[in-house]
Amino acid sequence: MTTKDGLGPLVRIDGKFTANKYCEILTTVAHCELAKVQFSGAGPVFQHDRSPVHTSKKVEALLHQLNIAVLEWPPQSPDFNIIGNIWGQMKAALASKPLHGMSRDSLWRAVHAEWERLKLDATLLDSLYSSLPRRMAVAIASGGDATSQAKRLSDTGIMHNAMIYCAGTTPLKQKYRQFGHMTAASQSRRSAGSIPRSLLCRLPAP
């Protein structure tokens, strides 16, 4: 989990990732982390992709119960999701370590140590969040086609099926056009000294 203020805790998942496990993480980790941040307006807007686990009825009901709004998210859109860049950095760092033959616990310790190292990088998230206006502009300019960054993410195995749906006239695409403009406005406020506190910004009212 990330917010503009930094990386949150890394959670180990043993076995298959299910809606029940995700609900447990949302309740015990994500909700607590979001409570630490002072949000303006109606509160935080949460972003996750369109994994069947994330969009399950059980998860949707829990998020509603926790009063956590969820940002509408176009399918197959790794360009918009900065967590892919973070996973990429972790993958590159871990590739240089002797991980072959490690036990699960040893591998977890190595991954967790790398995550903790990234948490100390004060410029990492600032750079990634600052890249959002450019990402939106490139996606809109491409007419919704996969950008070169999406192709790189797919080719390196960080994300797959990197097609972006953001430009056009459907309600969802219109919102993402708005999201691009809104993110640019947030960046202007950040430059003026008012740093957005949230991982995800609130969309304009329809």
pLDDT tens-place string over residues 71-102: 888 777 777 888 889 999 999 999 988 888 88
What average pLDDT does the structure give for the chain? 73
* Protein fold of 2-191: Nucleotidyltransferase; domain 5 (3.30.420)
pLDDT digits (tens, 9 = 90+) for 133-169: 888 888 788 776 655 554 444 333 332 222 222 233 3
What is the pLDDT confidence band of residue 117, given thresholds at 50, 70 and 90? very high
With a cut of 50, say whether residue 184 has pLDDT above it: no
- At residue 148, the pLDDT reads 53
pLDDT at 156: 35
What confidence tier does 105 reach under pLDDT thresholds 50, 70, 90?
A: very high
pTM: 0.64
CA-based nearest residue to 176, from 80, 109, 40: 80
Domains of the chain: which residue ranges? 2-191
Average pLDDT over residues 24-33: 89
Q: Which residue has the higher pLDDT, 85 or 1?
A: 85
Q: Please report which confidence band the pLDDT of residue 36 belongs to, taking 50, 70 and 90 as the band edges.
A: confident
Residues 94, 56: Cα–Cα separation, whole Å: 32
Secondary structure of 15-77 in the HEC alphabet?
Answer: CCCCHHHHHHHHHHHHHHHHHCCCCCCCCCEECCCCCCCCCCHHHHHHHHHCCCEECCCCCCC
Beta-ladder partners of 2 = 7
The residue among 206 and 11 whose pLDDT is bigger is 11
Q: Which residues of 12-43 are buried (b: 16+ CB within 10 A; e: fewer)?
A: eeeeeeebeebbeebeeebbebbeebeeeeee
What does the pLDDT look like over 40-69, one tens digit per residue?
A: 677 778 888 889 999 999 999 999 998 888
Q: What is the CA angle 165-11-162, rounded to 5?
A: 20
Q: What residues have CB less than 8 Å from 54, skipping those under 6 apart?
A: 22, 48
Please name which of 153, 142, 138 lies closest in space to residue 49, comparing C-alpha atoms.
153
In the numeric block, which tokens belong to residue 121?
């990088």
Whether pLDDT at 22 is above 70: yes
| Burial (0-12, 13-18, 19+ Cβ within 10 Å), 76 | middle
Both tokens of 182, joined, read: 């809104």
* Tokens at 74, concatenated: 């176009």
Question: What is the crossing angle of helices 171-191 and 132-141, to 10°?
Answer: 140
Give the pLDDT of residue 198: 32
pLDDT score at 144: 65
**CB neighbours of 31 closer than 8 A, spacing ≥ 6?**
66, 68
